[in-house]
């Protein structure tokens, strides 16, 4: 829902200012249409249905995995592709993976989104509408900005969306922004009042390899990025989660685990090893290689977990559904 258009439409209709909050409260609780908003006058509901599209996104495709993961491909009003994922966990968590851009201008070589043409930054409403889509299916409680795009390149809109996520059921402490190391954004998040988590996509401790698989490393070198993460930790007193996607024969060797452990201060960083959803360019490391890598990190005193894989059977890595439809 375009919340600015909603505000203007209500103002033009001479409605009191609380109406916008009333409409938003319904939407945030999962209402399926304006007509469900029963404490709004019927004439106003009809006017809104004519003037303000209930969502800024149109569902173009949806895939359901055996493990309960739902992946949705949307189109914006100007035809841009946007993906978002609902992950269901056995402990009851319902976590959303949200996109901040259509496509991505950065070109990480392991990423399906990076191979797509960059569209544009998403508006705050387009980001929120991803969450509202899933909220209409069921209650949700976690969100990660780990879908299409680099969130720190669109931080105004990402933070504007984050400010409203608690209304949808997702507190700031259960919201994480993942970056490839966009330093101005990390520093801004450190100053932000909302206690949002920070995750860093690191993927290689060796700077030459990191530049090869993540060209952004040339612009923001790893040492400077880690220093920014330490500043974040000092400001927020919260751990920084390091995402490390496991690529067979590329970044999963013993000495690479040792180098990673030497690089990261265990008081600041926790590592999350990510089994790779193959998108064509690389093979993912097998479970034994991932366990061995994790064991080396733990031996060196670094806390490390292996992410549960979700949605393997529906190509749930970011950009895969849009690429398949392109």
Per CB under 6 A, does 186 bind ligand SF4?
no
Of 31 and 144, nearer to ligand SF4 (C-beta) is 144
Stretch that binds ligand SF4, among 13-21, 30-38, 142-150, 228-236 (CB under 6 A): 142-150
Nearest Cα to Cα of residue 96 among 64, 71, 63: 71
Per CB under 6 A, does 180 bind ligand SF4?
yes
Per CB under 6 A, does 1 bind ligand SF4?
no
The most distant pair of C-alpha atoms in the chain lies apart, rounded to whole Å, by 68
Name the DSSP letter for residue 40: S
Which is catalytic among the residues 83, 126, 150, 243?
83
Nearest Cα to Cα of residue 193 among 217, 168, 163, 220: 163
Of 22 and 107, nearer to ligand SF4 (C-beta) is 107
Would residue 229 show up in a list of annotated catalytic residues for this protein? Answer: no
HSE value, Cβ hemisphere, 13 Å, CA-based, for 302: 26
Site string for ligand SF4, 231-250 (x = CB under 6 A): --------------------
Query: How is residue 143 written in tokens?
Result: 């969100």
Of 54 and 118, nearer to ligand SF4 (C-beta) is 118
Per CB under 6 A, does 106 bind ligand SF4?
yes
Contact 282, 311 (CB under 8 A): no
Nearest Cα to Cα of residue 190 among 149, 136, 238, 249: 238
Which is catalytic among the residues 108, 111, 162, 318?
318
Would residue 126 show up in a list of annotated catalytic residues for this protein? Answer: no
Site string for ligand SF4, 302-321 (x = CB under 6 A): ----------------x---
What does the DSSP assignment read for 54-78?
Answer: S-SEEEEEEEE-TTS-EEEEEEETT
Of 65 and 199, nearer to ligand SF4 (C-beta) is 199
Nearest Cα to Cα of residue 250 among 229, 278, 223, 224: 278
* Residue count, binding to ligand SF4 (CB under 6 A): 12
- Residue 247, SS3 per DSSP: strand
Name the DSSP letter for residue 114: G
- Residue 79, SS3 per DSSP: coil
Considering only 10, 108, 168, 317, the residue that binds ligand SF4 (CB under 6 A) is 108
Contact 324, 63 (CB under 8 A): no
Considering only 30, 149, 181, 284, the residue that binds ligand SF4 (CB under 6 A) is 149
Considering only 55, 95, 113, 285, the residue that binds ligand SF4 (CB under 6 A) is 113
Of 3 and 152, nearer to ligand SF4 (C-beta) is 152
Could you tell me the smallest distance in angstroms from the CB atom of residue 264 to ligand SF4? 20
Could you tell me the smallest distance in angstroms from the CB atom of residue 169 to ligand SF4? 25
Contact 103, 81 (CB under 8 A): yes
How far apart CA 64 and CA 82 sit, in angstroms, is 17
Residues identified as active-site: 83, 318
Which chain residues interact with ligand SF4 by CB under 6 A?
104, 106-108, 111, 113-114, 148-150, 180, 318
């Amino acid at each position: 829902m375009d919340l600015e258009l909603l505000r203007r439409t209500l103002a033009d209709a001479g409605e009191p200012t609380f109406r916008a909050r009333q409409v938003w409260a319904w939407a945030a609780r999962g209402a399926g249409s304006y007509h469900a908003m029963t404490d709004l006058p019927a004439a106003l509901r009809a006017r809104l249905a004519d003037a303000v599209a209930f969502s800024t996104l149109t569902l173009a495709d949806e895939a359901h995995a055996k493990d309960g993961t739902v992946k949705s491909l949307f189109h914006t009003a100007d035809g841009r592709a946007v993906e978002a994922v609902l992950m269901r966990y056995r402990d009851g968590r319902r976590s959303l993976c949200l996109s901040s851009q259509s496509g991505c201008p950065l070109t990480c070589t392991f990423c399906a989104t990076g191979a797509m043409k960059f569209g544009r930054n998403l508006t705050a409403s387009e980001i929120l509408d991803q969450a509202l889509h899933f909220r209409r299916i069921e209650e949700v409680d976690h969100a990660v900005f780990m879908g299409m795009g680099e969130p720190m390149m669109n931080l105004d809109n990402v933070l504007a969306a984050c400010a409203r996520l608690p209304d949808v059921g997702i507190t700031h402490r259960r919201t994480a922004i993942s970056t490839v190391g966009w330093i101005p954004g990390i520093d801004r998040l450190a100053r932000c009042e909302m206690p949002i988590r920070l995750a860093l996509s690191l993927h290689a401790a060796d700077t030459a390899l990191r530049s090869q698989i993540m060209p952004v490393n040339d612009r923001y070198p790893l040492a400077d990025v880690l220093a920014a993460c330490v500043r974040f930790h000092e400001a927020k007193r919260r751990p920084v989660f390091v995402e490390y996607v496991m690529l067979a024969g590329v970044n999963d060797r013993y000495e690479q685990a040792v180098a990673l452990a030497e690089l990261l201060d265990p008081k600041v960083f926790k590592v999350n090893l990510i089994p790779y959803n193959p998108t064509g360019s690389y093979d993912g490391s097998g479970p034994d290689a991932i366990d061995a890598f994790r064991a080396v990190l733990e031996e060196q005193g670094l806390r490390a977990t292996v992410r549960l894989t979700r949605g393997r059977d529906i190509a749930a890595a970011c950009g895969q559904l849009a690429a398949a439809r392109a």
